[in-house]
Amino acid sequence: MAYTYDLQNNILKANKTELPLDDLEQNLVGTCSKCNADVVSISYHLQDERTVVASRCSACGQMYAILYDEYWVWLGEHILKEVTSSEQEDSENADSISEETTEPTEELLALQAIPLKKMETTFTQAEIKTLFAKANGKKYVRQYLYRARKKYQKFGELFDIYLQI
């Protein structure tokens, strides 16, 4: 099943069906399969007898749709594609939603190999998120990247890991 999410309006769709919003509470709901950072809920939605939790990794920004049954037993998770309201309308007209199949960059693989606890000792969450976004070729905040780069030397001295992003 393909899941899409409109962050501005908190709209979660399973295939082309909009799931009713149940709650907007933010909770720790798991660990990211990409970078092992914390995954935090964005919103909760109802689907039949299940709850689908729209969530996002606090470090790399990967979004997930995490499924639970009526007793809050974990059923599985799907990659969640972020879309805007206009993209939501366009995707309704398309036959299917294609997942991105880009190869991870060398920079991204190097970042993913670094334990998050080590990164958190030197960089802020915003800087870590920016480093992952830059390495992944996504939009990032230049100011956070600038601040992170100022800390590369300190990080290298502490952990003997030298970043070049």
78 pLDDT above the threshold of 70: yes
**Bridge partners for 104 per DSSP:** none
Kindly give, in sequence order, each residue whose CB lies less than 8 Å from that of residue 106, ignoring residues fewer than 6 positions away: none
For residue 67, tell me if it sits in a domain.
Answer: yes
Q: pLDDT at position 13, please?
A: 92
Domain hosting residue 122, numbered range: 106-159
Same domain, 13 and 59: yes
Same domain, 53 and 85: yes
96 pLDDT above the threshold of 50: no
Same domain, 128 and 64: no
Q: pLDDT at position 113, please?
A: 84
Q: pLDDT at position 92, please?
A: 47
Q: pLDDT at position 103, please?
A: 65
Same domain, 83 and 20: yes
Mean pLDDT of the chain: 83
Cα-based angle 58, 83, 140 (whole degrees, multiple of 5)? 45
Res. 88 pLDDT band, cuts 50 70 90 = very low
Q: pLDDT at position 101, please?
A: 41
CA distance linking residue 114 with residue 110, whole number of Å: 7
Same domain, 83 and 111: no
Same domain, 150 and 71: no
Same domain, 84 and 137: no
Share of the chain above pLDDT 70, in %: 88
If you average pLDDT over residues 3-15, what whole number do you get? Answer: 88
Same domain, 114 and 52: no
Count of domains observed in the chain: 2
- Which of 71, 93, 115 is a domain's end point? 93
For residue 65, tell me if it sits in a domain.
Answer: yes
Res. 1 pLDDT band, cuts 50 70 90 = confident
Same domain, 81 and 17: yes
54 pLDDT above the threshold of 90: yes
If you average pLDDT over residues 73-77, what whole number do you get? Answer: 87
Same domain, 38 and 114: no
Tokens representing 25 are 């509470």
Same domain, 14 and 83: yes
Judging by DSSP bridges, how do beta strands 21-23 and 17-19 pair with one another? unpaired
Torsions phi, psi for 35 (to 5 deg) = -130, 5
100-133 per-position pLDDT tens digit: 445 677 888 888 888 888 888 899 888 888 888 8
Report yes or no: 55 and 45 within 8 Å, Cβ to Cβ: no
Kindly give, in sequence order, each residue whose CB lies less than 8 Å from that of residue 64, ignoring residues fewer than 6 positions away: 30, 39, 54, 55, 56, 57, 77, 78, 79, 80
